[in-house]
Structure 1
Amino acid sequence: MTKIKHFLAVAALVWSLGSCSKVEYTKVDKPAYLRVFNDFNTKIGVENKDEQKPFMCMLIDPKFDENGVPVGAAIKGDFLDKRDRYAPPYPSHIGSSTSKRNPEYPGKENVPAGPVLNGFDLSSWAQIPSGKHRIIFYYRPMNEIPFFELEPAIRKNVVVDTTLELGVEEIYTMHVMQTDFKTKSRGIIVRKENFHLLPLSDSMVYVNFYNYSADGFWNANRSEKSDNFEDGVMRYGIRDDVNIWMSLCKPGGWTTLPGYRYAYLGQMKRSIGNGVAPYYSFPLFADTASNRITTDIWQRFTLLVPGLDPEKNPYGDRDYDPDGQYGLLALYGNGTRQNFERGGLFLPSMIVNIHSGTYNPRSFATVNTIEVVNGTAYLTTIQRRYPKPVY
């Protein structure tokens, strides 16, 4: 596991790119904590080949020359590519040098990281000064030239421009995305998280759900969408209003724990708003046969339009186009596809098993968010601190 160093608040860091310093990261007094995802996952093909590829640079409080070209910024998040399906509970991208591609911010950026706040590890969030900020995302070419070294004309291709007020020691998750599938309009969601303020138990696993799909995606013509086998039966999108049913299963097949076969959780409604969805939970050791040190259960979420019974689901797992009425998420082990689940979109388990203390492995409960965007689901996992391994 790669862990990022938490910089002390009194430390100063100057980040230089190329031959000149364009961005200075200095002492962060009264910080806010920010994490940014690029949710553009729309199909680029012959019919829309002139659309910009979703590769971006984020500038916070940019500075401009007399021609309106950005020449500096208080904070820069460059090479922001489409997000990965899984955002693990530790900064997995820092130190990676094979490519400048950054599937999130801060990701590979060497910036002051968030602390442990109320027991939650915020090292995947960046510290930025609280207060009012102008934030602009720009399209940029898919090369490895730093943004401020690109030709001036290229540095004016704005994706979205907004101004935000960020509170002291508040935690924000930002999404830049397509908001309307037909008009190709773009926007930003800034979700002020509340998991660190809730009375959450160490013995429970928590998850909430969002549908951030663009308006009009699910009922658009299939030819306009990506036919991605890995997205399973929901790859052409799901309806704007679905029910969530959870099953907890043993490895190796479709064997559910007593009391956890199609347990109803609630509804997920498509929304391009900043609100925080409620968390649902289940016991870390829901399998009463476990030794209460490790558990190998996996999670299966069935998404169905209201009125459909999961026990009488008319759409089989091999149905490639259930007209947006059925989606299936299988959170199994390391997230690899299993033969017994044909139609599921696979993500890693929400239960983290890791060497801790004298146990190798030991299971830990987490706080999770699942976001559905245009037929693809993404998992973000947040973990509390755990005892270090004893060898």
Structure 2
Amino acid sequence: MKNQRLTIYLLVLLLCVSLFTGCAKVEYTAIAEPAYLRVFNNLNYIQTLGSKDDKVPYFCMLINPKFGTGGAITGAEIVGDFLDKRAAYAPPYPSHIGNSTTVDNPEYPGKENVLVGPILNGFDLSSWAQVPSGELRIVFAYRPKNTIPFFELESHLQTDILIDTVINLASKEVYTLHLLQKDFVTKAHGLLLRQENFHKLPLSDSLVYVNFYNMSAKGFVDADLSLKDDDYVLRSFKNGIKDEMNIFLSLYESQDNPILQSPTVIGYKGKFLTRLTRNSTSATVSPYMSFPLWASSKSNGIQTDIWQRFDFFSPGMDITNNPFFSGEIATGGNWASVNCLKNGKVFLGGSDNGTQLPNLLVNVHSGTHNPQTFATVNTLEVVNGRIYLTTIQRKYAPPIY
């Protein structure tokens, strides 16, 4: 009887310990003077004749690494493991948290349970991680594409370093760090650290803002097509764009019938926005262009259904003198387009050459309105045949049910 009671007691105790440890919350280390950092790995791995022997650009990011005897890395103040290639869309909220289907992380912090940025001047910085300000040593180490954490790998798999450098971050400032290929021929790599300024600008909540970057490697657009990714969804961007391009905006009235022959918003058919110059070295923030949230006469001041198309043309070309047919992809880098509507997975058919990305507008349940449309601040970045969208939103009122 005593043995039976002891067994029951031990089982209950084990259950209690199990429940306690399973529900233990994550303990965060407070940072006295934080900077806010978001990291993207813009290196893509593709299977071509020219890349079959290349290393897979799958990394562990280490900030302020610690070293043991013989120079082996034994730890780090901040670890961003399983850093995979960047996703086409970086939404205005940390959507990767809780995604346990894979350990792959399309950005940092992404899935990492870390202290994130606050609401700063009305902008939601929950997709940026808090990191110490000041001088930081940062290392990107190659790692196998498996599910084993970096510091549990065999020691010889922890020594292949792509980048080991120092960055400086100012307190309470917002940074985006890009891992880039700098030269397509020599395969040289590097970092670009951009200090963002959107939270310091007098931006109107009735305007939608977007800026542009071409951070492609030197020589990519002129390289042989056999060396480039043949992914169909890249459409007209897959072969790259010229180093100098003009960008034009068209706004379409409805996402229910997203066909390029559908009506455009008055005054927004092929409207010139800005000139884009390829640059993978300068960290200067590009100026933001804007268009009205309520540009359509069909909007009611609460919700609008417009969507956006951006055409990239080499100088001297625009939608009125475009020598290519609408579905042409091999344009020699002289024309590429991107359609921003719904969730970015709308198929417009083979007659259109546009890459698909989500709408720049955010539609959510806010207050008594479901949905309500909100303006955002956006960045479109072209990197070696791909175009990426990052969206930042302001804080909005929670829903009222």
Q: Please indicate, yes or no, whether the TM-score normalized by the shorter chain is above 0.5.
A: yes
The structure 1 residue matched to 2:228, chosen from 221, 225, 231, is 225
> Would you say the 8 A contact 1:44–1:51 is kept in 2?
no
Tell me the CA shift for residue 168 of structure 1.
Answer: 0.6
1:350 and 2:360 aligned: yes
- In the alignment, what sits opposite 1:281? 290
Shift of 1:309: 2.5
Displacement of 1:47 in angstroms is: 3.5
Q: Give the aligned partner of residue 292 of structure 1.
A: 301
Please say if residues 90 and 390 of structure 2, whose CA atoms lie closer than 8 Å, have aligned partners that are also in contact: yes
How many angstroms apart in 2 are the aligned matches of 1:130 and 1:228? 40
Letter in 2 for 1:174: L
Cα deviation, residue 381, structure 1: 0.2
- CA-based RMSD of the aligned residues comes to 1.2
Counterpart of 1:231, as a letter, is L
Q: Which residue of 1 aligns with 2:20?
A: none
- Summarize the alignment of residues 9-88 of structure 1 with structure 2, pairs less than 5 Å apart: 26-88=29-91
Deviation, 1:316, is 1.9
3-state SS of the aligned residue for 1:237?
Answer: coil
For residues 240-290 of structure 1, what are the alpha-carbon distances to aligned partners after superposition, in whole Å with 9 as ceiling and x for unaligned? 110000011122223211100111111111101211000000010100221
Deviation at 1:154, TM superposition (A): 1.2
Written as runs of structure 1 = structure 2, the 5 A alignment for 1:239-250 is 239-250=242-253
Shift of 1:364: 0.2
Identity in percent: 53
- Distance (whole Å) between structure 2 residues aligned to residue 182 and residue 154 of structure 1: 27
Q: Does 1:257 align with 2:265?
A: yes
Q: Give 1:368's aligned amino acid.
A: N
How far apart are residue 46 of structure 1 and its match?
4.2
Provide the C-alpha distance between the structure 2 equivalents of 1:154 and 1:93, rounded to a whole number of angstroms: 27
* 2:383 corresponding residue in structure 1: 373
Q: Deviations for 1:187-219, whole angstroms, at most 9, x for unmatched residues? A: 001000000000000000000000011110010
Report SS of the residue matched to 1:369: strand
For residue 321 of structure 1, give the secondary structure of its aligned residue in structure 2.
coil
Q: Does 1:387 align with 2:397?
A: yes
How far, CA to CA, are the matches of 2:305 and 2:172 in structure 1? 35
What code does the residue aligned with 1:283 have? P
Task: Give per-residue Cα distances to partners, 1:336-379, cap 9 Å, x unaligned.
Answer: 23335621001000000011110110000000000001111000
Match for residue 181 of structure 1? 184
CA drift of 1:25 comes to 5.4
Deviates more, 1:333-342 or 1:250-259: 333-342
2: CA distance between counterparts of 1:286 and 1:98? Answer: 40
2 CA distance for matches of 1:328 and 1:47?
27
Q: Paired residue for 2:140? A: 137
Q: Which structure's CA Rg is the greater one?
A: 2
Which residue of the partner structure matches residue 19 of structure 2?
Answer: none
- Taking structure 2 as the reference length, the TM-score comes to 0.90
Q: Is the 8 A contact 2:49 2:226 kept in 1?
A: no
2:194 to 191, 215, 218: 191
Question: Quick one: which of 193, 215, 218 aligns to 1:215?
Answer: 218
CA distance in 1, matches of 2:240, 2:122: 36
| SS of corresponding position for 1:138 | strand
Partner of 2:374: 364
Which one-letter code corresponds to 1:263 in the other structure? Answer: K
1:270 aligns with 2:304: no
Is the 8 Å Cα contact of residues 48 and 226 (structure 2) preserved in structure 1?
no
Distance 1:275 1:248 in 2: 28
Structure 2 CA distance for aligned equivalents of residues 267 and 325 of structure 1: 14
| Letter matched to residue 314 of structure 1 | P
Q: What are the ranges of 5 or more consecutive residues in structure 2 without an aligned counterpart?
A: 1-26
Measured in 1, the distance between the counterparts of 2:133 and 2:233 equals: 39
Superposed CA deviations along residues 26-78 of structure 1, whole A, max 9, x for unmatched, are 21011000000000025233443221111111000001112211110000000
2:340 pairs with 1:336:
no
Alignment of 1:303-342 (within 5 A): 303-339=312-348, 342=352
> 3-state SS of the aligned residue for 1:310?
coil
One-letter amino acid matched to 2:54? E
Aligned length: 368
Distance 1:153 1:45 in 2: 28
1:73-110 superposed Cα distances (whole Å, 9 cap, x missing partner): 00000000001100101000011111110000000001
1:138 CA displacement = 0.7
